[in-house]
Chains A and B, each alone.
Chain A
């Protein structure tokens, strides 16, 4: 037995042969495929669907589309719970669960509706005038209470289990909206051979022609729509996208869209996303998004059962549902009179047609007469009776009498607002059209044409004509249809009503709030919006904004266009954050770059650390080691006493060639690069033009006109971009070329006293790597492992005898395995970024914490490298007084006075006898490590006048960790200060 007491026996485009079961607030109902939740609820006689935001007034279904302010539900449950879902757009599916929101304990008996009794207090802006005393109570009492009452639905409590994806589509013509105008445009565009995308937010095409059960080409509109769809589906370059909302216009012909791929299903099929974000790149756009009906503003116009007239027709014609049994139609225009016909046809008694105009047109009179409906011309509804549902209305007639009418449905129409939002996203200001009493598109985004109701052409015939011409200019109308009469005399609000007259229903902004706003000086539309929260709800004011503006215009005695218009901002309708993020979440938030040793390191059980996008091995724990420190200490000791291997492929690498390569590098680096002999390397530093140190690394001269440079891992991209700029923009006359080779070379550092011995096992015999033949800072092309081309650099970051060996990246995995095997006899170990950092701190080499974008070369002890003999980037501004101030913090080494104490980066330095205050802040600890070589913690820091303070005992203050340590200022080099070990 069906529960659908209000379902018409025939008509509409729902499939009555199938039944879908769903629940609302735990009660089971039936519906049919083709129903929205709203149409199915109405079919079941459910009209109370929610509570308003502030006053918790009972609310029902106002509209039949995405403009719905009232009928918002929590759809689905658990991790898939979707708050604030519009019942008017949600398609039902078998097993759908929905619940009303913003009420407790139940929709019918909502405790918070007490707010409605307090509504004389809770007017617009009352917060700003109260809750100020005593101040301490705001966070403790007032605000928590406000926050408890805030919000409508509840977000899911757990991670969204569904997937999303992104796609881009290019087309000649993007048609936004699949009503008569949009279909006509798509047809003429497609017939002219254009690549066309037609997107409609609805799941069925046809728009108002279906809602109004109109005739096109002398047949029911549904037939014409079906034939248009059939033709479009046969054309190869046409893509029809239902359930796809174009939500925003962006610069460069880019339009954002969201396709609800699986929202109409109980769950997304495997491998199919819930939603898909589209970027449409369109040469031309036809905006055919239709129009939205305006409510009328009168007493208790928010009661469940007060609906937009067009929505009433939609429920009857599209869904085969009677939204009530006794109706009153209230309108200020001709178009709405057709509602009387639709209701009469559906067997609904229409008690009266209340037309606010004094001289109704012949059409209206004829319709009323034919339906045997009482026409009250010049009348207005002053109030609606009933609480949870409409019970009747009070009409004030033209001669001032009050008439009470009993009814359970009020169909209202205040006219239509063209859906111009997308046309204004790029700043185009809309124009006011007096005849329509609404805004129409003004200056349009490049390539856009507007057609049909969106352009103000409300009649069906005009929609087809303008759509046809917009699709391909000069096209004749693709079909014939008559224009309905849409004559209107504005009625912006009914005066002297009883009960609140709502303008923005969801945010509970009533006509009186607009008056208050005006009284208090919030007269600009932006002030009105912000003071009253008008138009800020989930419906974005689609049914509220123009009415509010017109009321403000009346109050300020200005014209509507002079009063202004708030600009629409994307998105056109709200878009799930998950769809905008796509698959970029969890581990796939960003790509992962894996160094060549990744697979091998993983096999070894290495721990990895995120370094930018890289996942670098940080240390290689072995069985029996208690913690990271023990592992890292073992790795450092192995390097210092035998040999270790670390993957340094993440360093940026640039290949620089050309007759002017030397001159070019001289201008990019602060130190001289022209004088490097072929076959040698040099350490170098680069400045920004403002004189601040940008990066450091090595420069190897492979041949007269061929250099190979390395950068830090962090700055690889930045340096490459910078050097290209220097070449292409500053010095295009130089004959030099460069290319990033970071990913082309796998590079390992082999460090430790036994490093040469290890290398001897894999470097092919014909290459001399003796200290005489291959001294410190040498570089050369060699082969390894029997003929594999490689480059060998004698460079050291650890301070030990060390080499960097580079091979084409495809050999990277094989090389780490070969190196480890070759080193077995010497007790080799792999080491990670942690041990690398420990050893560089022991040597006092700078890294990220010192190279922080605010230090000069001199600050970090590299002042001696800065050339005074040439121009280079940063040379001039390096000399500004602030950068050469002797008081600037400079690099020092630090060790705890009590050698058993641990040091912490980020601690600030204060002289021993001074108070720990900002005035005595002398700098901070940049890097720390436990030094196995020294047997205690060591640190590097930037200390005011650091160079003069060697031997001084200072305080390292770390209040956020509640630690203070006495430290001694020492040289920043803690191991082999003479630098003898690197030479062997």
Chain B
């Protein structure tokens, strides 16, 4: 299986593309591995890749109950950014951003990392000051951020509703390095790169239980039989509580539904990502021309991958309030994804009380942008049994010790984060 490049594409074009090989091997499970990662989503595949590449672990398997990339990595609004407020978060997401910036050359797969910027609008003095605080926190961490006034925003996105708005736009916080990434390609690219380094990617293999002896994990029971493992990592967004329960663990997580939306394809007019500060709405436009947008959680626990109509309306109301030119653009598709919402809106990358069993989850609706750093930090934790420097705050016991990482200040109410 060769390198991908314009030359390989041209060569294949001459012979009807008959020479392409599967992007990753359809591996059958071996009896045992050094490390088993549960979950063939972005985080699981990235973890496997970095285990192989950075930590020299080749006897690694990724177990996926369905098809890889079928969870939240394939159902999100593709935004990447590192415009966080709190010291527990900024270095982690900035590492992720740096990894995004070199990802395609690293994994030889074009995931279309596109840094067209993310602009958070503010509509009051208080919001401006909160964004100044955030922007300054980013700058102190060496992360790019700019505070724009109204005229600068108007110049950037002249088609917003500046003159007849219920909540006038006063300005925005801009991170130019923010942007979007072609989400599915992240899963496929990591899968291919991990596979090339010997990782077994095993689809249609559902984990049914853990085998634990003397408080140490020794393997997993799966729909394709027992698979032994010295270490097991969970990266099963949307199913964290259910999988952890099989090991007897109870997590500070609730699962909620988040809807996302895409419009018909129209000629691009929105360059970067824009978030509305006075309503539940954010938007970008894909390289195919679809408007990709979303809002808040539906707000109740759910494992059903669908939301309610009032939330669809609420999001579209935000859209029309912000950019009334999209009134005649049509919503093409909506879908609901399951978000494992933690009690403070921040994730976990940590050991569990069971030896050899590691947990990665609670990504809320921010997991996509975290994919590379999550994979790297989880790989670091599993390989070395040490927490990566930038992931130190993501402990499972932080609520017991009073060290919540609560960006929004909403307290232990996952539906409000």
Interface residues of A (CB under 8 A from B): 53, 80-84, 120-121, 123, 126-133, 135, 138-139, 143, 146-148, 150-160, 162, 164, 166, 248, 250-251, 254, 256, 277, 279, 425-427, 512, 516, 519-522, 524, 526-527, 530-531, 533, 536-538, 540, 569-571, 574-578, 580-582, 584-590, 592, 609-610, 688-692, 694, 848-849, 852-854, 877, 880-885, 904-908, 916-918, 921, 924, 957-961
Show 7 A/B contacts (Cβ-Cβ < 8 Å), sorted by A.
Answer: A81-B328, A155-B267, A254-B309, A426-B306, A538-B264, A578-B316, A689-B412
Determine the chain B residues whose CB is within 8 A of the CB of A576 once the complex forms: 327-331
What 5 A-B pairs come out closest when comparing CB atoms? A853-B409, A906-B132, A160-B327, A882-B402, A151-B289
A121, B321: Cα distance in complex, Å: 42
Q: Give the contact stretch, choosing among B140-148, B213-221, B243-251, B377-385.
A: B140-148
CB atoms of B330 and A906 under 8 A apart: no
Chain A minimum-CB-distance residue to B134? A906
Q: Whole-angstrom distance from the CB of A356 to the nearest CB of chain B?
A: 25
Which of B116, B140, B173, B412 makes the CB contact (< 8 A) with A957?
B140
A533, B159: Cα distance in complex, Å: 29
CB atoms of A166 and B313 under 8 A apart: yes
A126, B168: Cα distance in complex, Å: 43
Q: Give the contact stretch, choosing among B4-12, B43-51, B54-62, B361-369.
A: B4-12
Q: Give the contact stretch, choosing among B19-27, B223-231, B348-356.
A: B19-27
Proximity bits, B104-120, A CB within 8 Å = 1, else 0: 11001111111110000
Which of A158, A162, A516, A569 makes the CB contact (< 8 A) with B325?
A158
Given contacts A585-B317, A853-B410, whether A570 and B334 have CB atoms under 8 Å apart is yes
CB atoms of A147 and B287 under 8 A apart: yes
CB atoms of A848 and B126 under 8 A apart: yes
Q: Whole-angstrom distance from the CB of B405 to the nearest CB of chain A?
A: 10
Q: Whole-angstrom distance from the CB of A873 to the nearest CB of chain B?
A: 11
CB atoms of B402 and A586 under 8 A apart: no
| B184 contacts A by Cβ under 8 Å | yes
Determine the chain A residues whose CB is within 8 A of the CB of B404 once the complex forms: 690, 882
Proximity bits, B316-360, A CB within 8 Å = 1, else 0: 111111001111111111110000000000000000000000000
Given contacts A533-B288, A580-B316, A908-B133, whether A852 and B267 have CB atoms under 8 Å apart is no
Q: Tell me which residues from 298 to 313 in chain B have a Cβ below 8 Å from any Cβ of chain A.
A: 304-306, 308-309, 312-313
Q: Whole-angstrom distance from the CB of B184 to the nearest CB of chain A?
A: 5
| B152 contacts A by Cβ under 8 Å | no
CB atoms of A907 and B306 under 8 A apart: no
Determine the chain B residues whose CB is within 8 A of the CB of A581 once the complex forms: 313, 316-317, 319-321, 327
Chain A minimum-CB-distance residue to B66? A524
| B156 contacts A by Cβ under 8 Å | no
| B155 contacts A by Cβ under 8 Å | no
CB atoms of B317 and A160 under 8 A apart: no
A782, B214: Cα distance in complex, Å: 74
Determine the chain B residues whose CB is within 8 A of the CB of A586 once the complex forms: 161, 164-166, 321, 324
Chain A minimum-CB-distance residue to B307? A250
CB atoms of A130 and B17 under 8 A apart: no
Given contacts A84-B265, A157-B325, A587-B166, whether A516 and B20 have CB atoms under 8 Å apart is yes
Determine the chain A residues whose CB is within 8 A of the CB of B123 once the complex forms: 610
Determine the chain A residues whose CB is within 8 A of the CB of B267 once the complex forms: 83, 150-155
| B32 contacts A by Cβ under 8 Å | no
CB atoms of B17 and A516 under 8 A apart: yes
Chain B minimum-CB-distance residue to A126? B9
CB atoms of B268 and A151 under 8 A apart: yes
Determine the chain B residues whose CB is within 8 A of the CB of A570 once the complex forms: 312, 333-334
Chain B minimum-CB-distance residue to A524? B67
CB atoms of A121 and B329 under 8 A apart: no
CB atoms of A577 and B5 under 8 A apart: no
Q: Whole-angstrom distance from the CB of B374 to the nearest CB of chain A?
A: 21
Chain A minimum-CB-distance residue to B74? A530
Q: Whole-angstrom distance from the CB of A685 to the nearest CB of chain B?
A: 15
A472, B415: Cα distance in complex, Å: 42
CB atoms of A129 and B8 under 8 A apart: yes
Q: Whole-angstrom distance from the CB of A499 to the nearest CB of chain B?
A: 14
| Total A-B residue contacts, Cβ distance less than 8 Å | 369
Given contacts A132-B4, A156-B325, whether A585 and B110 have CB atoms under 8 Å apart is no
Given contacts A151-B268, A526-B74, whether A577 and B329 have CB atoms under 8 Å apart is yes
Determine the chain B residues whose CB is within 8 A of the CB of A881 once the complex forms: 401-402
CB atoms of A905 and B309 under 8 A apart: no
Determine the chain B residues whose CB is within 8 A of the CB of A250 once the complex forms: 306, 308-309
Given contacts A157-B325, A918-B141, 19 further A-B contacts (CB under 8 A): A80-B328, A83-B266, A128-B185, A130-B4, A130-B6, A150-B289, A152-B266, A251-B306, A256-B312, A425-B306, A427-B304, A519-B17, A520-B20, A536-B333, A569-B334, A853-B409, A853-B410, A906-B134, A961-B132
Determine the chain B residues whose CB is within 8 A of the CB of A884 once the complex forms: 402
CB atoms of B139 and A959 under 8 A apart: yes
Chain B minimum-CB-distance residue to A519? B20
A921, B4: Cα distance in complex, Å: 45
Which of A540, A585, A694, A882 makes the CB contact (< 8 A) with B401?
A882
Given contacts A129-B9, A143-B112, A960-B135, whether A906 and B140 have CB atoms under 8 Å apart is no
Determine the chain B residues whose CB is within 8 A of the CB of A691 once the complex forms: 402
A671, B1: Cα distance in complex, Å: 70
CB atoms of A152 and B328 under 8 A apart: no
A908, B24: Cα distance in complex, Å: 48
A848, B66: Cα distance in complex, Å: 47
Chain B minimum-CB-distance residue to A121? B13
| B34 contacts A by Cβ under 8 Å | no
A921, B188: Cα distance in complex, Å: 40
Which of B142, B304, B331, B399 makes the CB contact (< 8 A) with A575?
B331
CB atoms of B401 and A880 under 8 A apart: yes
A575, B327: Cα distance in complex, Å: 10
CB atoms of B140 and A917 under 8 A apart: yes
Determine the chain B residues whose CB is within 8 A of the CB of A155 once the complex forms: 266-267, 269, 325-326, 328-329
Chain B minimum-CB-distance residue to A120? B13
CB atoms of B124 and A960 under 8 A apart: no
CB atoms of B406 and A582 under 8 A apart: no
A680, B334: Cα distance in complex, Å: 56
Determine the chain B residues whose CB is within 8 A of the CB of A164 once the complex forms: 327
Q: Whole-angstrom distance from the CB of B77 to the nearest CB of chain A?
A: 15
CB atoms of A924 and B133 under 8 A apart: yes
A123, B264: Cα distance in complex, Å: 22
Chain A minimum-CB-distance residue to B148? A960
A468, B289: Cα distance in complex, Å: 44
A142, B400: Cα distance in complex, Å: 50
Determine the chain A residues whose CB is within 8 A of the CB of B24 once the complex forms: 521
A164, B324: Cα distance in complex, Å: 12
| B198 contacts A by Cβ under 8 Å | no
Determine the chain A residues whose CB is within 8 A of the CB of B10 once the complex forms: 121
> Which of A254, A521, A582, A587 has the most chain B CB atoms inside 10 A of its CB?
A521
Determine the chain B residues whose CB is within 8 A of the CB of A571 once the complex forms: 331-334
Determine the chain A residues whose CB is within 8 A of the CB of B145 once the complex forms: 960
Chain A minimum-CB-distance residue to B304? A427
CB atoms of A139 and B133 under 8 A apart: no
Chain A minimum-CB-distance residue to B279? A589
CB atoms of A854 and B23 under 8 A apart: no
Determine the chain B residues whose CB is within 8 A of the CB of A575 once the complex forms: 330-331
A76, B403: Cα distance in complex, Å: 58
Which of A123, A694, A852 makes the CB contact (< 8 A) with B17?
A123
CB atoms of A918 and B90 under 8 A apart: yes
Determine the chain A residues whose CB is within 8 A of the CB of B318 once the complex forms: 589
CB atoms of A152 and B289 under 8 A apart: yes
Which of B105, B137, B328 makes the CB contact (< 8 A) with A156?
B328
CB atoms of B21 and A520 under 8 A apart: yes
CB atoms of A906 and B112 under 8 A apart: no
CB atoms of A853 and B408 under 8 A apart: yes
Given contacts A519-B20, A538-B332, A587-B164, whether A132 and B90 have CB atoms under 8 Å apart is no
CB atoms of B412 and A960 under 8 A apart: no
CB atoms of A877 and B402 under 8 A apart: yes
Q: Whole-angstrom distance from the CB of B258 to the nearest CB of chain A?
A: 14
A580, B259: Cα distance in complex, Å: 15
> Which of A143, A589, A961 has the most chain B CB atoms inside 10 A of its CB?
A589
